[in-house]
Chains A and B, each alone.
Chain A
Amino acid sequence: MSIDVAGRTGSDWGSLVAADRVSARVYLDPEIYEAELERIFYKTWNCVGHESEFPERGSFKTRAVGRRPVIVCRDRNDQINVLLNRCRHRGALLCEKPDGAVAGGFTCPYHSWSYALDGRLRGIPYPDGYPRDIDKSRLGLRRLRVETYAGLIFATFDENAEPLAGFLGSARRWIDLFMKQGAGYPVKVQGAFKFRYQANWKIQLENVTDGYHFPLVHRSWMANVDAQTAEMLSFMKDPEAVTYGLENGHSVGIFVPEHVDLNEDDGTEALQDRFGDLVADLQPGLPPERLRRLVRSLHGAGFNLNVFPNLALSMGFIRLLNPVAVDATDNEHMVLGYEGGPEGANRERLRIHEHFQGPFGFGTPDDSEVWARVQRGAAADPDMPILIDRGLNREEMSDEGHPRSHVTDETGMREAYRMWKRLMTDAG
Chain B
Amino acid sequence: MQAEAWADAERKLALADPVALSAIELIYREARLLDDQRYRDWDELWAEGETRYVVPMRREVVDYDATLNFINDDSPMRRRRVDRMTSGHAGAVNAVGRTVRTVSRFAVDRIGDHELRVTSTEIVVAYKQGDHQVWAAELTHHILSADDRPCIRAKIVHLVDAEHTVRTCGFLL
Q: List residues of A whose CB falls within 8 A of some B CB.
A: 98, 190-197, 217, 219-221, 223-224, 330, 335, 343, 347, 350-351, 353-354, 358-360, 362, 364-366, 368-370, 372, 376
A369 with B166: CB separation less than 8 A? no
Q: CB-CB < 8 A to A368: which residues of B?
A: 92, 168
Give the CA-CA distance A343 to B63 in the complex, in Å: 13
Q: Which among B67, B165, B170 is the interface contact of A350 at CB below 8 angstroms?
A: B67
Is B65 engaged at the interface, CB distance under 8 Å to the other chain? yes
B167 touches A196 (CB 8 A): yes
Does B2 lie at the interface of the complex (its beta carbon under 8 Å from any beta carbon of A)? no
When A223-B87, A360-B71 are in contact, do A369 and B165 touch as well, CB less than 8 Å?
A: no
Do A221 and B67 have beta carbons less than 8 Å apart?
no
Contact B166 A195 (CB under 8 A): yes
Which A residues are CB-close (under 8 A) to B66?
Answer: 343, 347, 350
Determine if A364 and B165 form an interchain contact, defined as CB atoms under 8 angstroms apart: no
Is B84 a contact partner of A224 (Cβ separation < 8 A)? yes
Q: Assess whether A360 is in contact with B55, with CB atoms less than 8 Å apart.
A: yes
Chain A residue at minimal CB-CB distance from B163: A98
B69 at the interface (CB under 8 A from A): yes
Residue among A192, A194, A347 having the largest count of chain B Cβ atoms under 10 Å? A194
**Residues of the A chain whose Cβ atoms lie less than 8 Å from the Cβ of B165:** 194-196, 330
Top 4 nearest A-B pairs by Cβ distance?
A: A191-B68, A365-B92, A220-B90, A365-B168
Q: How far is the CB of B89 from chain A (nearest CB, A)?
A: 4
- Can you list, as one digit per residue, whether each of B65-95 has a CB less than 8 Å from chain A (1) or not (0)? 1111111100000001101100101111101
B169 within 8 Å of A (CB atoms): yes
**Across-interface contacts of A335 in B (CB, < 8 A):** 68
User: Which of A193, A217, A343, A365 makes the CB contact (< 8 A) with B170?
Assistant: A365
Tell me, in angstroms, the Cα distance from A343 to B91 when the chains sit together: 34
- Whether A197 pairs with B68 at a CB distance below 8 angstroms is no
Q: Give B64 Cβ to nearest chain A Cβ, in Å.
A: 10
Residues from chain B with a CB closer than 8 A to the CB of A219 are: 87, 89-90
B57 cross-chain contacts in A, Cβ below 8 A: 191, 193
A selection of 13 A-B contacts at a CB cut-off of 8 Å is A190-B67, A192-B68, A195-B166, A195-B168, A196-B165, A217-B91, A219-B87, A347-B66, A360-B55, A364-B168, A365-B170, A368-B92, A369-B92
A359 touches B166 (CB 8 A): yes
Mark interface residues in B17-55 (1 if CB within 8 Å of A CB, else 0): 000000000000000000000000000000000000001
Q: Is the CB of A193 within 8 A of B92?
A: no
- Determine the residue in chain B with the shortest Cβ distance to A358: B70
Are A366 and B90 in touch, CB under 8 angstroms? Answer: yes
Contact B164 A351 (CB under 8 A): no
In the complex, the number of residue pairs spanning A and B with C-beta atoms less than 8 Å apart equals 93
Binding site for A on B (CB under 8 A): 55, 57, 65-72, 80-81, 83-84, 87, 89-93, 95, 129, 163-170
When the two chains form their complex, are residues B69 and A354 in contact, meaning their CB atoms are under 8 A apart? yes
Query: Is B87 touching A220 in the complex (CB atoms < 8 A)?
Result: yes
> Which B residues touch A359, using CB under 8 A?
70, 166-169
Beyond contacts A195-B168, A350-B65: 14 other A-B pairs, Cβ-Cβ < 8 A, are A194-B165, A197-B167, A197-B168, A219-B89, A221-B84, A223-B84, A223-B89, A347-B65, A350-B66, A350-B68, A362-B80, A365-B170, A369-B91, A369-B168
Do B129 and A376 touch (CB < 8 A)?
yes
Contact (Cβ within 8 A) A351 B84: no
Check if A354 sits within 8 Å of B167, measured CB to CB.
Answer: no
CA distance A71 to B57 in the complex (A): 21
In the complex, the answer to whether A191 meets B169 with C-beta atoms within 8 Å is no
- The interface residues of chain A lying within 8 Å CB-to-CB of B92 are 365-366, 368-369
Q: Which of A190, A192, A366 interacts with B91 by CB under 8 Å?
A: A366
Please name all residues of chain A whose beta carbon is closer than 8 Å to the beta carbon of B80 when the two chains form the complex: 224, 362
Task: State whether B169 touches A360 (Cβ < 8 A).
Answer: yes
List of A residues within 8 angstroms of B129 by Cβ: 372, 376
Residues of B within 8 A of A220 (CB): 84, 87, 89-90, 93
Interface centre among B65, B93, B166 (most CB of A within 10 A): B166
The residue in chain A whose Cβ has the minimal distance to the Cβ of B68 is A191
| Complex: chain A residue closest to B84, CB-CB | A220
B residues less than 8 Å from A376 (CB atoms): 129
Residues on A with beta carbons closer than 8 Å to the beta carbon of B167: 195-197, 359
Q: How far is it, in angstroms, between the C-alpha of A359 and the C-alpha of B169 when the chains are bound? A: 6
Give the shortest distance, in Å, between A367 (CB) and chain B (any CB). Answer: 8
Q: Which residue of A lies closest to B80 (CB)?
A: A224
With a cutoff of 8 Å between Cβ atoms, the chain B residues found around residue A347 in the complex are 65-66
| Chain A minimum-CB-distance residue to B67 | A191
Known pairs A194-B164, A351-B72; A369 contacts B67 (CB<8 A): no
Whether B71 pairs with A190 at a CB distance below 8 angstroms is no
Tell me the complex Cα distance, A376–B87, Å: 25
CB nearest neighbor in B for A220:
B90
| Residues of B with C-beta under 8 A to A370 | 91
Q: How far is the CB of B116 from chain A (nearest CB, A)?
A: 26
Closest to A324 in B: B165
Report how far A353 CA is from B68 CA in the complex, Å.
Answer: 8
